[in-house]
Copies of this chain bind each other. A is one copy, B any other.
Amino acid sequence: MNLTHLDENNRPKMVDVGDKDITTREAVASGVIEVSQEAYDMAMSNDNKKGSVIQTAIIAGIMGAKQTSNLIPMCHPLMLNSIKTDLEELPELPGFKLTIKVRLDGKTGVEMEALTGVSVGLLTIYDMLKAIDKSMVIRDVQLEAKSGGKNGDFRR
């Protein structure tokens, strides 16, 4: 086994997926942002505020997932079939958990799209709340599940 994005001189390449089958592929990624009680309470203090913070994060996550091949140097440009998000309130942390599921019919997986979307969405929550709290931490950005393709499914 080797690093697929390195060529025979160990220099970066965008790996050839030409011989792979077009199959339905899906990836789910998630991540958490831990915020102060004050920032959490502010974001939750009324429905409109909460709505704005959450919607901005969701939209940024979806748009960010579409930018993956422009951001991650060796990622292939892909025609995604769908991007779906779930933003969970975590009052006990306190914080938020963002989950993004991406699907395509194509020759390569969409893990990076899901992970990039999660990262951009969580960064957006940071941006929306940073006037209250600069010590927020993004953590546990990880692949939850992946299916499709010949390498078999993955489930954390």
Binding site for B on A (CB under 8 A): 1-7, 9-18, 24, 31, 42-43, 46-49, 51-56, 58-60, 62-64, 66-67, 69-85, 87, 103-107, 111-112, 115-116, 119-120, 122-124, 126-132, 134-143, 146, 154, 156
Contacts and interface: CB of A to CB of B under 8 A. Distances in A.
A152 B75 CA distance: 30
Contacts of A7: 84-85
A10 B49 CA distance: 5
A28 to B, nearest CB: 12
A142 B131 contact: no
Interface secondary structure of A, over-half rule: mixed
Given A42-B3, A140-B137, A18 B82 contact: yes
Given A6-B49, A9-B48, A131-B4, A141 B139 contact: yes
A64 B137 CA distance: 19
Given A79-B79, A85-B13, A138 B119 contact: yes
B3 A43 contact: yes
